Amino acid sequence: MNRKFYQQSLAEIAMFFAENQCDNGQWNYNGRGRKLSPTVYAPVPTTAKKKPVPGMTTTDPSEGPPPGKELKLPPPVKGTVKKAGDNSNAQYAILALFAASRANVLVPKQTWQDAEKWFESKQNGDGGWGYMNAEAPGVGIVTTDASSGSMTTAGLTALIVTKFYLGKDWKTEPSVVKGLEWLGKNFAINQNPGGPLLWHYYYLYGLERVGTISDLREFGGHKWYKEGAEYLIRLQDPDGSWKSAAPQNGLTDQVTDTCFAILFLKRATPPLQKPKDIATGVGRKDEPAPPEKEKK
C-alpha cells in the first residue's frame, strides 16, 4: 500500500488498536473505532502506471513513495475494554501498529509499553510462549500455556517491534535473546514445534515474520527461508494450493493454508526499519564510491 496516500487511514487503524488494547496489554476480538476526520479515501487506480519518485529509490518498490510527515495520534479514549485477550490476536495488533508506524504515524508510547510488559511477563522459563487463556471463536475457552513455535514467533514479533519503537536495542534484550534460542533449539519446518498440526502453516508464516523483521538468516544453524521454501514447493498440490495434514475445519482450511504458504514464500513481512531509512538519495555526495577492480 502507498504509505503516504493511506497514512490517515492507517492512523485510524492504529488509533483503533491503541484505544481497544486490553487492560493487561493484549488484544481481544472486540472494539470500537472512530475517525480522525471525515476524509474519504479513494483507492489508487491499479491500471495507472507508477511514476518514479525523482532522486529516490526504495528497498521495496511496491511501497511507492516515502511516508508523509509525522502524524501524531490524539490521546487514546478508552471505552469498555476487555481485561484480557490472547497472544495470537495481540501479534496481529502489533503488526497493524507496525504498518502504521512505518507510515510515520506516532503510536502512543504507553501502547508499546503495555504490550512489551505483557509479553515479557508471560514468557515461559524455557524461552518460548504459549497461547494463554483465551476464548476462541466457536471453540470456547482454550488454555495452552506450553511453548509452541507458532506462539513463540508471535511473542518474538511483538517484542522486537515494540522494543524497536521504544528506542531499545532489541538484539541485546534478554527476553528476545532467550526466545530466539528457543526457536533455534526447537526449529522445525515440517511441523509446528510444541503445537498441534492445526497451526502448522500459521507457524511457518510466524517464522517468516521473525526472520524478516529481525533480518536473521538462520535459527539454530538452520537457513529458515531456504529450508522452508524447499519444503513448501515440494508439497504444493497440482492445483496450486497447499493443505496441512491437520483436519480441515472452521479454524483452518485449504484457503488459509495456501495464504500462509504464499506469505512465507513471498517474504511478505517488511523489514524492521524506520521510515527515514526506507528511501535513500541517488548519487549522494556521502555515498561511497564503488571499489576499483584490482589490477593484476
State pLDDT tens for residues 138-168: 665 454 588 999 999 999 999 999 999 999 9
Q: Are 125 and 175 in contact (CB under 8 A)?
A: no
Helix (H, G, I), strand (E, B) or coil at 24: coil
Identify the band that residue 35 occupies on the pLDDT scale cut at 50, 70 and 90.
Answer: confident
pLDDT per residue as tens digits for the range 241-291: 999 888 877 788 999 999 999 999 999 998 886 544 433 344 334 444 455
Q: Are 112 and 166 in contact (CB under 8 A)?
A: yes
Helix (H, G, I), strand (E, B) or coil at 274: coil
C-alpha–C-alpha distance, residues 279 and 220, integer Å: 32
Q: What is the mean pLDDT of the chain?
A: 82
Residue 233 exposure: Cα atoms within 13 Å on the Cβ side: 8
Which residues are CB-neighbours of 274 under 8 A, at least 6 positions away? Answer: none
* Per-residue pLDDT at 145: 81
Asked if pLDDT for residue 41 goes beyond 60, the answer is: no
Query: Whose grid coordinates read 541517488?
Result: 282
C-alpha–C-alpha distance, residues 164 and 98, integer Å: 10
Which of 204, 192, 251 minimizes the C-alpha distance to 229?
A: 204
* Per-residue pLDDT at 1: 67
pLDDT per residue as tens digits for the range 182-235: 999 999 999 999 988 889 999 999 999 999 999 999 999 999 999 999 999 999
C-alpha–C-alpha distance, residues 262 and 243, integer Å: 12
- Strands 140-142, 218-219: parallel, antiparallel or unpaired by DSSP? unpaired
C-alpha–C-alpha distance, residues 88 and 155, integer Å: 9
* CATH code reported for the domain at 7-279: 1.50.10
Which residues are CB-neighbours of 110 under 8 A, at least 6 positions away? Answer: 76
- All three cell numbers of 247, joined, read 483436519
* Per-residue pLDDT at 255: 94
C-alpha–C-alpha distance, residues 88 and 94, integer Å: 10
Task: Provide, for the chain, the percentages of residues in helix, strand and coil under a 3-state DSSP scheme, each rounded to the nearest 5.
Answer: 40, 5, 50
Asked if pLDDT for residue 93 goes beyond 90, the answer is: yes
Please state the pTM of the whole predicted model: 0.80
Helix (H, G, I), strand (E, B) or coil at 98: helix
Mean pLDDT across the stretch 72-76? 86
